[in-house]
Amino acid sequence: MASKYSKDLLLTMHRKMYLIRRFEERTDQAYKQQKIAGFCHLYIGQEAVAVGTNEALRPDDYMLSGYRDHGQPLARGSDAGMVMAELFGRGTGYSKGKGGSMHIFDIEHHFYGGYGIVGGQIPLAAGMAFASRYRNEDRVTVCFFGDAAANQGAFHETFNMAVKWKLPVIYICENNRYGMGTAIGRVSAEPEIYKRASAYKMRGEAVDGMDCLKMYEAVKDAVEYCRAGKGPVLMEANTYRFRGHSVVDPAVYRSKDEVEHERKNDPIPKLKEYAIKNKLATEAEFDAIDEEIKAQVDAAVKFADESPEPSLEELWRDTIVEPGEEDVRPRERVLGTKVKWPSYPSGQELKVTWDLEPRQQAEREDKKAGLAR
């Protein structure tokens, strides 16, 4: 039977996963050469989650993440050199070197960051989804967070509102089984995170996050549900980080056997085998892509390394918006590329025609519950 996936899709997925893998290997190297500093969390092993998700989205859907945030923007199409420059703390980085590894933002590609407080991005995603609903747009917001973030109050507070207000947001818990050195089961009454959705009458499901195609299918289905206005989804992507929590963590809290076992599950060869077995691509085609990516990442590192630090005047920019000041468009600023930037309807054009609590329905329910108005 022929595969239902196009060659183009599979090669794109491979290209992106391999880009993330290679990018992160070079990040690790550069950190050890002290070109990168601070907290730096690698995405190696989890590539299928970001890539499978991204290919199921529209480019104008919103996405945001925690501090393990190099993979998602690369999947979205961010410039690898400018992401690397951000890690190097250079003025040519996406945030001019002000954010670093944990705060990648690329608004042109609708990647809204990069947050260092565990779970802090969860309410933001609901707000972005609220804005889409408010303006009657059909875009969805995808928010990634770790398994440990599911124990934050923000998780519970937000899900309650997101369901009650039918917000078009997909929460993807990247369950890599550890929050730093703590196995999630040690600190969680319900370690299968997706099951917590039921407490909020929310759609919840688990998916194999080590398989790019399964991620793709699951997110596609969730997006359809969300775009149709049926409300939020909690998806638990079961995945594994092959490296420590951050580049300096030797990860002694888990056994070598466990890691070896999980490495057999590597999403990159898995997708490749699928494509070759289904005769959608040849080994040679994969090799050619890999060579291209290696050159792309070499160029990214070189770009970062040769870029200057931000100027000291930058200290006094980007804290408060002055009247009439425009937003910074990174690729335009750094590469001179003309970019498409999000624009929103003005408050005079916008018509808010929907109800969060439709009056008649609310009155009926009040009556049933014996409430007075």
Partner 1 sequence: MPELMYREALNQALAEEMERDANVFLIGEEVGRYNGAFKVSQGLLDRFGSARIIDAPISELGFAGLGVGAAMVGLRPIVEMMTWNFAILAMDQIVNNAAKLRHMSGGQLRCPIVFRGPGGAGGRLSSQHSQALEANYAHFPGLKVIAPATPADAKGMLKSAIRDDNPVIMFEGERLYAIKGEVPEGEHVVPIGKADVKREGKDVSIITWSRMYYFAEQAAQQLEQEGISAEILDLRTLRPLDEEAILATVRKTNRAVIVEEGWSLAGVGASVVDIIQSKAFDELDAPVQRVTGLDVNMSYATNLENATQPDAAKIIAAVKKVLYREGA
Ligand X SMILES: Cc1ncc(C[n+]2csc(CCOP(=O)(O)OP(=O)(O)O)c2C)c(N)n1
Query: Which residues contact partner 1 by CB under 8 A?
Result: 62, 93-99, 103, 105-107, 112-117, 120, 122-132, 134, 153-154, 157-158, 160-161, 164, 317-321, 323, 325, 327-330, 342, 344-348, 350-352, 354-359, 362, 373
Binding partner of 149, given partner 1, ligand X, none, CB within 5-8 angstroms per partner class = ligand X
Options 3-11, 75-83, 173-181, 266-274: segment touching ligand X (CB under 6 A): 173-181
Phi–psi pair at 205, nearest 5 degrees: -155, 155
With binding defined as CB under 6 A, does residue 53 bind ligand X? Answer: no
Residue with tokens 């466990």: 258
Of 35 and 103, the one with the shorter C-beta distance to partner 1 is 103
Binding partner of 93, given partner 1, ligand X, none, CB within 5-8 angstroms per partner class = partner 1
CB of residue 43 to ligand X, shortest distance in Å: 9
Of 143 and 210, the one with the shorter C-beta distance to partner 1 is 143
Binding partner of 127, given partner 1, ligand X, none, CB within 5-8 angstroms per partner class = partner 1
What distances in angstroms separate CA 275 from CA 56, 219, 281, 284, 294, one per listed residue? 18, 20, 6, 12, 21
Binding partner of 146, given ligand X, partner 1, none, CB within 5-8 angstroms per partner class = ligand X
Q: Residues 6 or more apart from 71 whose CB is under 8 A from it?
A: 20, 24, 43, 46, 47, 49, 50, 51
CB of residue 274 to ligand X, shortest distance in Å: 26
HEC assignment per residue over 110-160? CEEEECCCCCCHHHHHHHHHHHHHHCCCCCCEEEEEECHHHHCHHHHHHHH
Of 66 and 310, the one with the shorter C-beta distance to ligand X is 66
With binding defined as CB under 6 A, does residue 122 bind ligand X? Answer: no
CB-facing half-sphere around the CA of 146: CA atoms within 13 A = 26
Torsion, CA 323, CA 325, CA 326, CA 331, rounded to 10: -150
With binding defined as CB under 6 A, does residue 339 bind ligand X? Answer: no
Options 22-30, 115-123, 130-138, 346-354: segment touching ligand X (CB under 6 A): 115-123
With binding defined as CB under 6 A, does residue 146 bind ligand X? Answer: yes
With binding defined as CB under 6 A, does residue 68 bind ligand X? Answer: yes
Residues composing the chain: 373
Going by C-alpha positions, the residue among 248, 278, 247, 253 that lies closest to residue 24 is: 247
Going by C-alpha positions, the residue among 100, 246, 267 that lies closest to residue 179 is: 246
Question: Which residue has the CB atom at the shortest distance from ligand X?
Answer: 146
CB of residue 341 to partner 1, shortest distance in Å: 9
Give residue 171's identity as a one-letter amino acid code.
Y
Cα–Cα dist 373/358, whole Å? 14
Binding partner of 176, given ligand X, partner 1, none, CB within 5-8 angstroms per partner class = ligand X
Number of residues that bind ligand X (CB under 6 A): 14
Of 164 and 364, the one with the shorter C-beta distance to partner 1 is 164
- The one among 37, 117, 248, 350 contacting ligand X by CB under 6 A: 117
With binding defined as CB under 6 A, does residue 99 bind ligand X? Answer: no
With binding defined as CB under 6 A, does residue 147 bind ligand X? Answer: yes
- The one among 8, 58, 180, 308 contacting ligand X by CB under 6 A: 180
Which residues of this chain interact with ligand X, rule CB under 6 A? Answer: 68, 116-118, 146-149, 174, 176, 178-180, 245
